[in-house]
A and B are shown apart, each in its own frame.
Chain A
Amino acid sequence: MTDALRPETFLPHNEQNMFQYIWEHRLDLLNRILANGETNLARVLGLMAEFNRHHRLILETCDDPREGNGAQFLTGRAAWVRETPDPGNRAMFPDCPVTPEGVPLYSWAVVGGHPTIRPSHASYDHLAVPVILALTRQRRFDAFAELGSGFGEKLFRLYLAGAPRDVPYYGAELWEGGRLMADALASLEPGIDFHGVTFDMKAPDFSFLAPHKQVLLFSNAAIYAVPDLPPDFLDLLLDTCPAVTGVHFEFIGYQLGVTSAYVEEFNRRREERAYNRDFIGLLRQAEEKGRVTVEYLQPDLYCVSSAQPVTVIVWRKT
């Protein structure tokens, strides 16, 4: 990305477009880490997570350069800004003890839709990994796929946590920056059978899953970024896979009508940012048609570090 602004390249400021630039800047970070001689996948993921914990990526936005109608656009420029982890935490707990490194000892958390606390060093950001790992102990799968996989972090963490070695892991991602990162990371771990595929939630092509009989397909903060999925999104998937289990960790609890004071505050944000509106509806329709069984649906189970409440869904093809 150059510093010269080219308005014709500006993208509307929404969740999905943000990720194009997030992956581009993380790719720069990854390349710097690799240039330091790092060759171990777990270490590289650890270093990236640690950097993220101490820095915030600021994406530059501007008013619509063509229409002047107040809509916000992403210019493509961005900068990492250093910050103490969890800066908002101090305001919430003014008497919270602080470690010698200036990190508050406790952080706020939302569990079951209600505010509570957690140790600030305990992250809830990767809970999809143990949940999916637990599923792999109960059922056999011949492929794992993540939709909107970004740089494949969850797939890699799943593999490193001990998920089966002898099956392919598909990272299905729209943005090239994320796929390039995933490919670079996968090359560090010769044991993983990783395949990056281009995948657009708005025009989904599930054919990469056709060779497999028992697919575990998951998404983690990906579907929420697409305001409206195609009406046949799940049908296309179900027509492709003879057997599939779906696991979703998404910020879509508001579609279930469950509320709490905290979630209400979040709801205002998702309306401004055009979060997904129809995934639960599509899932319910598929259930009514007898195509899937929803095994588990828990709205707003917990909050991740971005403060967004995560709803967890597990379903399987009937």
Chain B
Amino acid sequence: MTATLDTEGNLFAHLWEERAALVAGFIAQGERSLARVLGRLSDFERRHRLVLQREDGRLTGAASWIPQPPDPANRAFYPDGPATPEGTPLYAWAGLAGTLTIRPFHASYDHLIVPLARDLMRQRQFDAVVELGSGFGDKLFRLYLAGAPRTIPYFGAELWDSGRRLADRLAKLEPDMDFRGVTLDLLDPDLSILAPFKNVLLLSNGAFYCVPSLPRTTFQTLAGCAENVTGVHFEPVGHQVAKDKPYLAGYYATTITQRDFNQNMIPLLLAAERQRVLKVEFLAPDLSMISSGHPVSVAVWHSLGGAR
């Protein structure tokens, strides 16, 4: 892996590379089930941290997995909290709906986009599902394994070659799934491959936030990529809606600013609604916090006629 600037986007290019090595190891051990490989990957990452070597504001390409007890930050939060025989804490903290609360330690909020998308798919018929910034296709695979329709294509749209390669490798474990990896740059999105479809479900999960400033016409492009488009976004962009949550003050002051997170997704979405390109059905800032510590906001919209 060659050296790159230390940005959220570039960080993922390295992460997919390291995950690919893990997956190759699982497959070499005889794993043939997509669900098991995803499970083992999650389990491994729960107990290890990927340390990327940085020099002078650049990611050098060198990386290593460091073993660590799950959720080390939680121990600091509840230093005297009870622990399981395996040394994991009993409760973890969780930011929900603007308040700080607790959850059982083993309950993860990392994949909530999957059941929410499944609810949508029960109500509406889609003939294609696309994840924008899909990485290694984790969410698409989980959606399929949760019982989403078998007979439609699932497009994993990802900028980085390393993510697309890993997704292709995983998709081979599940030959019944119609998975298609495509190249997508959120700075210049080309979704012409979706033109033949009538009802498209677009997903993004922790992807838009990595692009500091999305093109002004992003939602016009997305809403016009097919006859009818429904968009679902799980992104840490709640700061663009309201910054009135005390427990997130530190997060806003450091992570978002220092890591150059996206600043214009929600304004662009609302502008597209004012232009009657789309209708925002649902916007919930800071729904829940995922294990990386990011508070995730949820937006659901559908295109209005004439977006094309």
Tell me the A residues contacting B by CB distance below 8 Å: 37-44, 46-47, 50, 54, 97, 99-101, 103, 105-106, 109, 111-112, 116-119, 121-124, 127, 130-131, 133-135, 137-138, 159-162, 165, 189, 191, 295-296, 298, 301-302, 314
B224 vs chain A, min Cβ distance (A): 21
Known interface pairs A40-B145, A101-B120. Does A161 touch B39 (Cβ–Cβ under 8 Å)?
yes
Partner of A119, one of B31, B33, B96, B104: B96
8 Å CB interface, B52-86 against A? 70, 82, 84-86
Can you offer 17 A-B residue contacts whose CB atoms are under 8 A? A46-B145, A47-B147, A105-B97, A111-B104, A116-B101, A117-B96, A119-B96, A124-B107, A138-B86, A159-B36, A160-B39, A162-B39, A165-B30, A165-B31, A191-B36, A298-B82, A314-B85
**Could you mark each residue 99-134 of chain B with 1 if its beta carbon is under 8 Å from any beta carbon of chain A, else 0?**
001111011110010011011101100000000000
Contact B109 A119 (CB under 8 A): yes
Chain B residues positioned under 8 Å from A302 (CB to CB): 104, 107
Chain A residues positioned under 8 Å from B259 (CB to CB): none
Chain A residues positioned under 8 Å from B274 (CB to CB): none
Cα separation A106 to B103 with both chains bound (whole Å): 13
B146 within 8 A of A: yes
Known interface pairs A99-B116, A101-B119. Does A118 touch B300 (Cβ–Cβ under 8 Å)?
no
A127 vs chain B, min Cβ distance (A): 5
Partner of B115, one of A41, A43, A121: A121
Looking at B84, B108, B122, B150, the one whose CB has the most chain A CB atoms below 10 A away is: B84
Contact A106 B97 (CB under 8 A): yes
Chain B residues positioned under 8 Å from A43 (CB to CB): 144-147, 150
Chain A residues positioned under 8 Å from B112 (CB to CB): 119, 121-122
Nearest-neighbor residue (CB-CB) of A245 within chain B = B85
Cα separation A41 to B174 with both chains bound (whole Å): 12
B198 within 8 A of A: no
Cα separation A191 to B91 with both chains bound (whole Å): 34
Nearest-neighbor residue (CB-CB) of A37 within chain B = B150
A315 vs chain B, min Cβ distance (A): 10
Contact A40 B176 (CB under 8 A): yes
Contact A101 B123 (CB under 8 A): yes
B281 within 8 A of A: yes
Contact B32 A127 (CB under 8 A): no
Cα separation A46 to B118 with both chains bound (whole Å): 10
Chain B residues positioned under 8 Å from A117 (CB to CB): 96-97, 101
Cα separation A314 to B39 with both chains bound (whole Å): 23
Chain B residues positioned under 8 Å from A42 (CB to CB): 33-35, 145-146
Contact A124 B104 (CB under 8 A): yes
Chain A residues positioned under 8 Å from B243 (CB to CB): none
Known interface pairs A106-B97, A122-B288, A314-B85. Does A100 touch B281 (Cβ–Cβ under 8 Å)?
yes
A63 vs chain B, min Cβ distance (A): 38
Contact B106 A111 (CB under 8 A): no
Contact B106 A127 (CB under 8 A): yes
B227 vs chain A, min Cβ distance (A): 19
Known interface pairs A54-B122, A298-B90. Does A119 touch B288 (Cβ–Cβ under 8 Å)?
yes
Chain A residues positioned under 8 Å from B107 (CB to CB): 118, 122, 124, 127, 302
Other 9 A-B pairs with CB < 8 A, given A117-B101, A121-B119, A127-B106: A97-B282, A119-B96, A119-B288, A122-B103, A122-B109, A134-B86, A135-B86, A161-B39, A295-B85
